[in-house]
Amino acid sequence: MNYSKTRNTIFSEQARVFEHNAQAGNQYVMRLRAPLTASHAKPGSFIHMQCNPELLMRRPMSIMRADKNTGWIEILYKVHGDGTMRLAKRKVNDIVDILGPIGVPFKLGGYRKFPLLIGGGVGIPPMIFLAEHILKTAPAVHPLVIMGSEIPFPFKARPSKIMVSGMPEGVIAAMPLLDDWGIPSRLASLQGFAGCFEGYVTGLARQWLDSLKPDLNNEVEIFTCGPTAMLEAVSQLAHEYTLPCQVSMEEYMACAVGGCAGCTVRVETDDGPAMKRVCVDGPVFDAASVFPPR
């Protein structure tokens, strides 16, 4: 394996595909051997990958899981253009050029007792990574993961073995991986999927928050990743309940290492509004700085 160190924290690696599985909804989970990226990845990190040697433009992909001991990372992606269509054709043992890990992660400690992790669509992977990190580093913390999708979920949902108070009757569908870890999860969709909440993730989150005793609200914080409209709605929900919230932004980007400034977003700072690069100043930001309370 050839790799070189760049920018002290971002590495260039020739990653080898050793698992590549198709999921429902034209989605794929790819596991790559990338030991440098795996050893430095944190929840919220992403990679910038070359989907095909014939395509110069790379694609940013959130890291869903990473194992520094065995040197692999895992990504989830949906085919929606030429690049990801070509990526879907990559086979086991193919080499994929990647840069990673990139970006400011979610907070890595000091969690409140009941973190609420909300992922929508391709924003689900960072929530899985964060949930696993909390499980391994903060055993006294009890996260709840809520996921939403308007296409089939990229896993076969099953009735959860974990009871969650405050959930509407019949909302029992969960992600098997999280359930096996002992982390409760619930799913939301407008597509009528069995066992899912019929509505938006914010609607399900609101019902759970309303079920908590008032003093328990002070022990909740929110982490979220997904489409911009969903992030704004989650941010407003956090403001309504006076809860801290971190958002991971999704933006198209060209270089992903801070050079082109093509992925900037307006962020409120102590010195006034500023344009920040999602790739290296983010992708994780304080929710209120990107979506000021209305």
Does the pLDDT at position 4 exceed 60? no
Res. 96 pLDDT band, cuts 50 70 90: very high
Res 5: pLDDT: 38
Res. 68 pLDDT band, cuts 50 70 90: very high
Question: For the residues 79-85, what does the mean pLDDT come to?
Answer: 95
Q: What type of residue is 109? A: G
Condensed to tens digits (0 to 9), the pLDDT of residues 212-236 reads 988 787 899 999 999 999 999 999 9
- Give the integer Cα–Cα distance in Å for 162 and 142: 12
**DSSP-based three-state secondary structure for 267:** strand
Q: What Cα–Cα distance (Å) separates residue 189 from each residue in 64, 174, 203?
A: 21, 13, 11
Question: For the residues 245-257, what does the mean pLDDT come to?
Answer: 90
Q: Name the nearest CA neighbour of 27 among 74, 63, 75, 78.
A: 78
Res. 250 pLDDT band, cuts 50 70 90: confident
- Give the integer Cα–Cα distance in Å for 161 and 240: 31
Q: Is the dihedral of CA 262, 265, 270, 272 positive or negative?
A: positive
Domains of the chain: 3-102 (2.40.30.10), 114-249 (3.40.50.80)
The proportion of the chain whose per-residue pLDDT surpasses 90, expressed as a percent, equals 88
